[in-house]
Amino acid sequence: MNTLDPNLSTRQHIETQLNWRYATKLFDPQKKIDPADLHTLMESVRLSASSFGLQPWSFVLAQSEEMKAKLALAAPMNKSKFETASHIMVLANKKTLTPEYVDSYVQLISDTRGVPVQALQDFRAIMVNKTQAMSPEALAQWTARQTYIAMGSLMTTAALLGIDTCAMEGIDTAQFDDILGLSQTGHGTLAAVALGYRSKEDSLQFAKKVRFASDKILKMV
Ligand SMILES: Cc1cc2nc3c(=O)[nH]c(=O)nc-3n(C[C@H](O)[C@H](O)[C@H](O)COP(=O)(O)O)c2cc1C
């Protein structure tokens, strides 16, 4: 695990960890993420931002060797990560978003914040109009974009905790849906993130980061 230096300021710590993170190809299979860190990682996706707060996603955390091996068969390109990572987080986006789902969210706001459902009807109408006006393809793209925000949040949180990750789109999403029973819930697999601790054998950890300079991609105005 990366040694987190107590003498670093928060800002230094964040930049150090953002540079430390890399797309890990091979994990140390002996090292498992402890329950407290797992809890924080799960909170990082649950607390992620989404349009209207609708949370159009679901997540599956694969932890058993049996399940990881099953998923590996549906991700030959990324086999080494499935075989060595401590955990695999599968991120799925909603394929349909019904008025009933919006109602369940409105009810949750009401219960959580003590606001009468009646007072939330204008907000409900905006959400229903927006989601019902989209084609199924546009809706799936919209929910996918939001699910990717959760993915980014997961990877950054992991890096801050000294946990390695590899984002993976190179998976057979239809097979993942079957294995995890996601289609029945109205979700579809989008991508997966391998989580664990880098193996000493993974030479990529020593390679320099390849990034365009700030002035090429960012403008202050
Ligand atoms: C959405 C997404 C999908 C990716 N899919 C894969 C993948 O299937 N397999 C893999 O080895 N790396 C995958 N990567 C990792 C990228 O190749 C990597 O992030 C990029 O080369 C930059 O390197 P760095 O993350 O080490 O800085 C993916 C990254 C992202 C953000």
Model pLDDT for residues 62-109, shown as the tens digit of each residue: 999 999 999 999 999 999 999 999 999 999 999 999 999 999 999 999
* Residue ranges of E strands in the chain: 57-62, 87-94, 164-168, 187-196
The string of DSSP codes covering 52-105 is: GG---EEEEEE-SHHHHHHHHHT-GGGHHHHHH-SEEEEEEEES---HHHHHHH
CA–centroid distance, residue 60 to ligand 1 (Å) = 20
pTM for the model: 0.96
Which structure tokens are listed for 13? 């710590």
Residue whose Cα lies nearest atom 29 of ligand 1: it is 167
Model pLDDT for residues 158-208, shown as the tens digit of each residue: 999 999 999 999 999 999 999 999 989 999 999 999 999 999 999 999 999
Q: Is a pLDDT exceeding 50 seen at residue 132?
A: yes
Q: Is the dihedral of CA 77, 198, 24, 164 positive or negative?
A: positive
Atom of ligand 1 nearest to the CA of 148: 1
Grouping H, G, I as helix, E, B as strand and the rest as coil, residue 211 is coil
Grouping H, G, I as helix, E, B as strand and the rest as coil, residue 215 is helix
Residue whose Cα lies nearest atom 4 of ligand 1: it is 168
CA–centroid distance, residue 58 to ligand 1 (Å) = 21
Q: Is a pLDDT exceeding 50 seen at residue 123?
A: yes
Atom of ligand 1 nearest to the CA of 25: 11
The owner of tokens 């390695």 is 164
